[in-house]
A = this chain, B = another copy of it.
Amino acid sequence: MQNFDYWTPTRLVFGRNAIEKLPEALAPYGRRVLLAYGGGSIRKIGLYDRVRELLAGCEVYELAGIAPNPKFAPSVLEGIRLCRAHAIDVILAVGGGSVLDCCKGIAGCARSEGDPWDIITGKQPTTGAVPIVDILTLAATGSEYDNAAVISRTETNDKVAYFSPLVFPAVSILDPTYTFSVSRRQTAAGTADAMNHVMEQYFVGDSTMLNDGFCEVALRSLMANCRKLLANPEDYTARAEMMLCCTYGCNGIYALGNAYGGWPCHGMEHALSAFYDITHGEGLAILTPRWMRHILSEATAPRLAQYGRHVFGVGEGLSDWEAAEKAIQATYDFFASIGIPMHLREVGIDESRIDEMAAHVVADWPDMQTAWVPLGERDIAEIFRASL
């Protein structure tokens, strides 16, 4: 078991009508609120109007139109400008992981000195941050419970991870009913994203019985609840359990004391979505079984076999190698069964930029070389090709 230093000060307000606690959640920070959101979905479900009612006593400025794979320009830059121009006390992020990630970038840059891109990339330190309160509308990324953000810079095809202990949300308001209207496609992609978060912490060199069991039940729960939601998108219990599984995704709680495995599928997927702006969860689902196949060896087979036996119930009585192969196939089959396009060509990615993307992964994600199974540029390109 590895040493760790864990701290997650975010308060989770979870359940139907959790939004009633919004005024109390904002009150400690002040009256000048930056309300940040994406497209029109929060208007469609009536959430925008309810939020504006609850903000009645506040001075509200808006940052709308935050895109998926949130962009440094214009959204982060415009948010920084608004925070500074209006001396914003607190950012209220309403949306999914992209809105939250964008707001984390804004929060840290607005109260730190230096060039914003240097702050995002860690070249200059985050020395302060505007407090963040969020209302989640999509179960997927876990950004509501961690201190990380993924920000894209379109002109250079960079998609980088920004971290600071100062950007943990202060309060995350999690009402599963806001996810009732999430489409089948986004529900499936969110499930794949959350499953991959668990796997990135599970496929590591050192783990515990406790963490293995926690990760394995999280994977079973995500799959079972995804199936329920594709049949009935308004199944409250399934939306709620899915949301909690996703919330735990990236703050480390699934695997405290486990070795760090490098998050290789995330490293690779970030290049795909930086170059082609695809849906992150779909990119992960496409890559995951190909990554498993690529790293299958005598050394990794026992772990993949355990995964197959405990998560999918396949491989009992078989050798570890055979069980691992069944586990990889079961992973692929599950993602296909929930309607995810399982080939890069289906999401608009062809062979033309594979080598360029592989080079980008190596440059943007140094952990590839220290991953559970280290991967070089050539390995990455092979995994991309196998995913076509």
Instruction: Using CB atoms and an 8 Å cutoff, list the residues of chain A in contact with chain B.
Output: 1-18, 21, 176, 208-210, 212-214, 216-218, 220-221, 224-225, 236-237, 240-241, 244-245, 253, 256-257
Q: Contact partner of A209 among B7, B12, B210, B217, CB < 8 A? A: B217
Residue contact A217 to B220, C-beta cutoff 8 Å? no
Q: Using CB atoms, name the residue of chain B closest to A10.
A: B7
Which residues of B are found within 8 Å of A15, using beta-carbon distances?
1-4, 257
Say whether A241 contacts B1, CB under 8 Å.
yes
Contact status A14-B9, CB under 8 Å? no
Known: A217-B214, A217-B217. Is A209-B14 also a contact (CB below 8 A)?
A: no
Contacting residues, chain B, for A5 (C-beta < 8 A): 11-14, 21
Contacts of A214 in B (CB 8 A): 213-214, 217
A210–chain B nearest beta-carbon distance, Å = 4
Residues in B with CB closer than 8 Å to A218 are: 210, 213
Measured between alpha carbons, how far is A322 from B218 in the docked complex, in Å? 29
Which residue of the partner chain B has the closest CB to A176? B1
| Chain B residues within 8 Å of A217, by CB | 209-210, 212-214, 216-217
Give the residue name and chain of the B residue nearest to A214 (CB): B214
Q: Which residue of B lies closest to A254 (CB)?
A: B214
Contacts of A216 in B (CB 8 A): 213, 217
Given contacts A212-B217, A253-B253, contact A3 B7 (CB under 8 A): no
Residues of B within 8 A of A256 (CB): 12, 14, 244
Cα distance A21–B15 when bound, in Å? 37
- A14-B257, A240-B257 known; A245+B6 contact, CB < 8 A: no
Query: Hey, which chain B residues are within 8 Å of A220, CB to CB?
Result: 209, 213
Beta-carbon contact of B4 and A14 below 8 Å: yes
In chain B, what residue has the closest Cβ to A247?
B256
Question: A384 → chain B, closest Cβ, in Å?
Answer: 33
List 22 contacting pairs A-B, 8 Å CB cutoff, sorted by A: A1-B236, A3-B18, A4-B14, A7-B10, A7-B12, A12-B256, A14-B256, A208-B221, A208-B240, A208-B241, A209-B217, A209-B221, A210-B217, A210-B241, A213-B213, A213-B214, A213-B221, A214-B214, A214-B217, A217-B217, A244-B257, A253-B253
Are A16 and B3 in contact (CB-based, < 8 A)?
yes
Residues of B within 8 A of A209 (CB): 217, 220-221, 224-225, 241
Chain B residues with CB below 8 A from A245, complex form: 210
Assuming the contacts A209-B224, A256-B244, asked whether A4 and B9 have C-beta atoms less than 8 A apart, the reply is no
Query: Which B residues are CB-close (under 8 A) to A10?
Result: 7
